Amino acid sequence: MRHGRICWAHLLGWLSRTSGKTHNFMTISEVNITPIKPQSGLIAFASVVLDDCLYLGSIGVYARLDGTGYRLTYPTKKVGDKGINIYHPINKLLAKEIEKAVLNKAEKVCDNSFLF
């Protein structure tokens, strides 16, 4: 695995497979969780690797304020008055798969007082 480097040939191959009507989504090949001392609902940071090729880090894991579960936030950068998305899933199915993988791993890694 090469963190910080994009495997363009693999990414282009994936794009060509998904440009038709069939949807072969990237697979989540690795998930890492870094628990933190809870503050303002933030309980951990996560990273995922897609297809052993694309590393996505700095994903925030937050407890919902109403206590009904957890949510993920993706990194943004403040530029002037605007918050600009660094990256985020644009496909609901992939977003749900990332959420499920991250929360499953977080359940195993984090102390039960933080999660579930």
pLDDT for residue 68 is more than 80: yes
Band of the pLDDT at 7, cuts 50, 70, 90?
low
Query: What percentage of the chain has pLDDT greater than the value 70?
Result: 72
Judge whether 91 and 82 are in contact, CB under 8 Å. Answer: no
Q: What pLDDT score was predicted for residue 65? A: 84
Which residue has 């282009």 as its token pair?
A: 12
Backbone angles phi, psi at 73, to 5 degrees: -125, 145
Taking all residues of the chain, what is their mean pLDDT, rounded to a whole number?
83
Mean per-residue pLDDT, 82-100: 94
Delineate the domains of the chain, giving CATH numbers in brackets: 8-109 (3.30.1120.40)
Residue 70 is encoded by which pair of tokens?
């957890």
For residues 60 and 48, give the distance between their C-alpha atoms in angstroms, rounded to a whole number.
Answer: 12
Count of C-beta atoms within a 10 Å radius of residue 87: 13
Model confidence over 26-60: pLDDT tens digits? 899 999 999 999 999 999 999 999 999 999 999 99
* Phi/psi of residue 34, nearest 5 degrees: -120, 100
